[in-house]
Structure 1
């Protein structure tokens, strides 16, 4: 019995002794205090062709890569990898002076040669429609088609501290197009096609590197060579829809949700958890060019009715949209003389035969469905015209030429004309063949602006394609997040984000 007591006492002493070595401090929460959790719809596997990616997927590129120049939230061009640009020879030559304090994530300095070789890569690896400015560089298009040598035949050269571009023709928007995500500096562009398998082997030019990548989450880690005081980590998490993302946001599981449900905007704004920004997207009304039901005066009257309906719709959706008021682009709203002339013209009355039924179409989606149902209800309450609608898929809308079953269409697009999804491309199906072919000839941003300006008065005065609204971007944001903004291309600016 005595031996048993001695054994038990010994065990108690040993246990008490070992407990002294156990760390009894509180465990750290999984969500680091300096970590930002950001919701998107899907985690990509292919990041090679950047120009075709959704804005939220492009955010991974803008976080991990920097451009020669970038577009800030005020649509002003700012230097990034370059410190200045000199334009020579009447706009045909651009000389970018490269900063000497820029580094890859592995600590090696970024050189003008690195930048030049990157442009060589995307000249062959990026989709053609996304690099129209680059294809205007002397010899670039021939090189993409397999002719000539990049070093000897393409007008991109580098020196000790600069990179020079020589263009075929003047393009006033050349520098602005270089701000888009596809021109952000990356190493080994080809291997970004399978980014999930290759992210560990890559080095990055941006504020963050990809630290981990799973089916439902990408973890970005701040680069050591970045002196800026920004969040240590960004976790990009996939959510199936905005409602799911918002549910997680409300319980603290997400810090950032882009464009939350419209029904939540007023509440989030009153709680100080919403950032409201002007976006680069617009909505337009296009009349069917093959339809003889509505002549010029009829189109004018219908446009007046649609505008009146949109004015009432905007009253309850002011954070979501802004009325275009006759402007095709946001900046045109400052041209008061043009807007006044259009306002006077649009209010003129005349005789017209009111149709019993009007048929409107739009691309399928919940937002367009809500809008169309609102318009149907508004016409029922305020007119004697029955409005019906159909939602069609994107391919149908893009091949709408020579279709005659509808009267008008709601079309949407980017206000950046170099964008593949720009309003410039969206309106092509509603124009005559000669005008359409003429517009297709323009490839650069500058050329497209000139072409659009040449047909703008015809579009408006003859009621072909007319502006309705400009969208806003809304960001649901944790109150602890600081310095969050979208750049002029609609991507998150990761250079200042803090928590």
Structure 2
């Protein structure tokens, strides 16, 4: 009996030891798997995943990184702002600047191996410009003959001047010369894709989507982690450095930073600014300028002191841009001394440069002198300054509020809101001033000025200037590119004289990456590009 018990105990001990060893082996295997994911792949935190892959109803820059890496259009915009061939290997522009003929690559293929044709582009433009498609960017293509009428349902697409001359030749005819037309087409929203239900339900149907870009979506985990694989049928696949890329979907800067520090991810954008020195000591980060600015917009829809131009100019004189950029933003932005960034292209192979409107430091005396011409009848005890609720925006608005109090003697109440509530406040006009983000959707100054047209859907602030509107139309129809730039400068001058907005600074995208990650870059529009990304672990 004792011998039997000893045998049983021995078997139990062997089993426990075996289980412990196996468990330890499994634990080690799990740890290796988890740690090798980021070491074997560039792992980039995209942030919140988009609702769909049509993406014509919003302008979230980071969400469009998916479009920029899985689909491709006729042309691309590189990191220097140069327009480069994409699915169109070449193009010809007529002498009068109104006729564009694109040669589609012979080796241009969908991810299933089928040929990409000129008719694919015809169908694509027909779908995105359809009146039933929620497309906030459609006005950009009103330069194409027939688009505006088609969008309004006045004609069918046969009357739109986007036609396939043959299988590999696409022709687009414009209403007027538009030397920034290729800049418009270089946006990720014009990357070729089949506009269908698969793009809407992409998290379920990603395997059946046909991709036209450098990567395909290979897997989406339950946690929202996306695995991209190199598109084996992509025309430029030889230049794509990585066979696989991982995209995580951590929604906050703080969670992305924690994942970066624990090496769950190895690339993310826009870290908490207070942590930059910490990151710099253990990894690297680089800063790329965006076609995007921040400014203080005034509510011109209602009467009051904010509707007084002299008051707005007094506020402008009271702002210390140097303090905001250096001490609040840790020098990760560029002070804006004009409305349009000086690195914006002029469509003439140069940069758009207008005169300097503002200074870096505050001028309290100038602000106080300007206030002398402001009527004392307004009687506002305080003003409401609203902002999108971030740490940096809060500090910026509080600094501006203190400057206004010092210069003009009016208290400013600063209120931060999450995105949907902030937009609701703007639409309802429940504010006096608002810190807003404004941007050029493509690399040309007209894109920045567009939002201040009286009829613009982005003009939520009540600015109305008939002369400004007329000059906008004159600029669009001006055949001479140099003369058009002069008109655009006149428009910016008018905007700065009327001052519906005070520019503060121009944004940068900050890319944080481990030292062994190479090849990450942004295009001129600010999208993260992953085709050249790879790991250098040696």
TM-score (norm 1): 0.81
Q: 1:133·1:174 contact (CA, 8 Å) conserved in 2?
A: no
Counterpart pick for 1:132 among 120, 126, 139: 139
- Give the alignment partner of residue 229 of structure 2, picking from 206, 221, 229: 221
**Do the aligned residues in 1 keep the contact of 2:177 with 2:477 (CA within 8 Å)?**
no
Shift of the 224–363 alpha-carbon distance from structure 1 to 2, 3 Å rule, reads same
Q: Deviations over 1:421-459 (max 9, x none)?
A: 985465551413756876998998999989865532222
Residue 378 (structure 1) shift? 5.1
Question: Which residue of structure 1 aligns with residue 33 of structure 2?
Answer: 29
| Distance across 1 between alignment mates of 2:497 and 2:465 | 19
CA distance in structure 2 between the aligned counterparts of 1:78 and 1:114, rounded to whole angstroms: 20
Aligned to 1:301: 314
Match 1:397 to one of 426, 440, 443: 426
1:209 to 1:384, Cα distance in 2 relative to 1, 3 A:
same
**Secondary structure at 1:198 match in 2:** helix
* 2:384 equivalent to 1:365: no
1:55 aligned counterpart, secondary structure? coil
Task: Determine if the alignment matches structure 1 residue 121 to structure 2 residue 127.
Answer: yes
Question: Is residue 2:355 matched to residue 1:338?
Answer: yes
Gaps of 5+ in 2: 5-21, 346-350
Query: Given the alignment, which residue of 320, 338, 361 partners 1:326?
Result: 338
Worse-superposed segment, 272-281 or 50-59: 50-59
Q: 1:133 to 1:159 in 2, by over 3 A?
A: farther
Distance apart, 1:322 and its partner CA: 0.9
1:197-233 Cα shifts (integer Å, max 9, x gaps)? 2212122111111111245222111112322242222
For 2:295, what is the secondary structure of its paired residue? strand
How far off is 1:246 after superposition? 0.6
CA distance in 2, matches of 1:60, 1:217: 13
Q: Contact 1:414 / 1:423 at 8 angstroms: preserved in 2?
A: no
Q: 1:243 aligns with which of 232, 241, 254?
A: 254
**Cα drift, residue 304 of structure 1:** 1.2
The answer as to whether partners of 1:72 and 1:488 remain within 8 angstroms in 2 is yes
Work out the CA distance in 1 between the residues paired with 2:57 and 2:33: 38
Alpha carbons 1:48, 1:190 under 8 Å: kept = no
**Equivalent-residue separation in structure 1 for 2:140 and 2:312 (angstroms):** 37
Aligned-partner SS, 2:293: strand
The equivalent residue for 1:254 is 265
Unaligned runs of 5+ in 1: 5-21
Q: Counterparts of 1:77-476 in structure 2 under 5 Å?
A: 77-124=83-130, 126-146=133-153, 148-151=155-158, 154-215=161-222, 216-225=224-233, 226-289=237-300, 290-292=303-305, 296-306=309-319, 309-316=320-327, 317-331=329-343, 338-339=355-356, 349=366, 350=369, 352-353=371-372, 359-366=383-390, 367-377=392-402, 385-391=410-416, 393-400=422-429, 406=432, 408-416=433-441, 424=452, 426-432=458-464, 434=466, 453-476=489-512
Counterparts in 2 of 1:38 and 1:99: CA distance versus 1, 3 Å: same
The number of residue pairs the alignment matches comes to: 474
User: Is the contact between residue 155 and residue 166 of structure 1 (CA under 8 Å) also seen in structure 2?
Assistant: yes
Higher relative contact order (CA 8 A, sep 6+): 1
